[in-house]
Amino acid sequence: MNMLGQRFHNKKNNSNRNKNVIKNMAKRKIGFYYLHYRNGDEVFEVESGLVRLLQYINAQSNRAKKQDISDDRICFLDFFEYNEDACQLKMLFKSAKHSYRAPLLNRNTVEARENPKTMEEGEQVKTHLLIKFVNGDAIVFLETGRNVLTLKIITDYLNTFISIFNNAHRRDRIEGAFCFDMIPRDDFREVLDNMERVLCAEVFIDKQVLGSDALNFSERIEHVQDNIILEIKTERRETIKHTIYDIFSKLTGGPSVIRRIRVKGKTSDTNESIIDTSFINKKEYIDAQQNEDTGEYNTAYMFSQLELLSQDF
């Protein structure tokens, strides 16, 4: 077991020491995203760059890893675990809101008592994140909810550490920055309707089409991946929205060689958006174990559920 895996193992053991703690079952909502690593128009591989940066961050003390999100909120990377064979990466962030210590109110008696924490302290909040690397994509499965970190905060955190790393390593810099696209899980046609322009699309087609009468390229496809990708791009300042409508109708209208469609476009506020038919109707909530004493969610169980969810992708 590597050092990172051992650290995660130790944390799991620590969380399970008290066998008598009652754990309530709850539901946690999961957000789906694509993580990108870019320098201007140049696109880099996410996996190697992210692991390199996380190894640097992980080597720092918690105090050095801490960043201020706002005047009264902090966060830091608690640990990460990278499984190269499984093409996945787990991250646990912790955050807290400080500078507020009003008296505590009991929900049953409505009686107040003095808050024992100091102004520098705040309740710890955990944010669980799993990334799966599939065919060049970095798919993010992020725990969402009240008080947890957003992916915007997390990418800002990582990009700040790129600057810190580069200041310390002038001759071995990390170029580029991390950004992301949210993957909508609403009705595909509805999201497509709301796009101002569709810039490009990838259509995943059964490999059998290579030997079909339509193409007649080759019937020797035993070593070809199950799906081939047809990339469609728009002409300058134009849109291919109606083309995608037709392709989507073929996908949903009965037997078809089309297996999946991924579309990139711009919304009316000029933000980029990605929709992917493989995410429609996917599970959005996972089970979570909640500690009755603290209200915290069990980290080992959360990651086990995120792993199960990621197996569908």
pLDDT digits (tens, 9 = 90+) for 13-59: 554 544 556 578 999 999 999 999 999 888 899 999 999 999 999 99
Q: CA nearest 278: which of 5, 8, 29, 34?
A: 34
Shared-domain flag, residues 210 and 112: no
Q: Are residues 150 and 37 in the same domain?
A: yes
pLDDT of residue 3: 46
* Helix ranges restricted to H, the chain: 3-15, 46-58, 62-65, 151-168, 188-193, 241-252, 299-310
40: tokens are 């201007």
Q: Is the pLDDT of residue 133 over 80?
A: yes
Number of domains in the chain: 2
- Does residue 170 share a domain with residue 75? yes
Does 264 share its domain with 300? no
Kindly report the pTM of this predicted structure.
0.76
> Does some domain include residue 83?
yes
Contact present, 248 and 255 (Cβ < 8 Å): no
* 294 DSSP assignment: T
Residue 128 lies in a domain: yes
Domain identity same for 225 and 135:
no
Question: Residues 176, 292: one domain?
Answer: yes
Mean pLDDT on 197-215: 82
- Residue 6's pLDDT is 45
Statement: residue 1 has pLDDT above 70: no
Is 133 inside a domain boundary? yes
In a domain, 92, yes or no: yes
* Mean pLDDT of all residues belonging to the chain: 87
Which of 13, 5, 6, 2 has its CA nearest to residue 298? 13
> Are both 288 and 218 inside the same structural domain?
no
Whether residue 265 sits in one domain with residue 158: no
Query: Is 273 contained in some domain?
Result: yes
Q: Is residue 289 part of a domain?
A: yes
Residues 207 and 246 in one domain: yes
**Residues 175 and 73 placed together within one structural domain of the fold:** yes
Contacts of 267 (CB under 8 A, 6+ apart): 194, 195, 196, 273
The per-residue pLDDT for range 273-282, each reduced to its tens digit, is 788 888 775 6
Where in the sequence is the domain holding 216, given as residue range(s)? 188-279
- Does residue 274 fall inside a structural domain? yes
Same domain, 176 and 207: no
Whether residue 16 lies inside any domain: the answer is no
* Residue 169 and residue 41 in one domain: yes
Tokens of 278: 């493989």
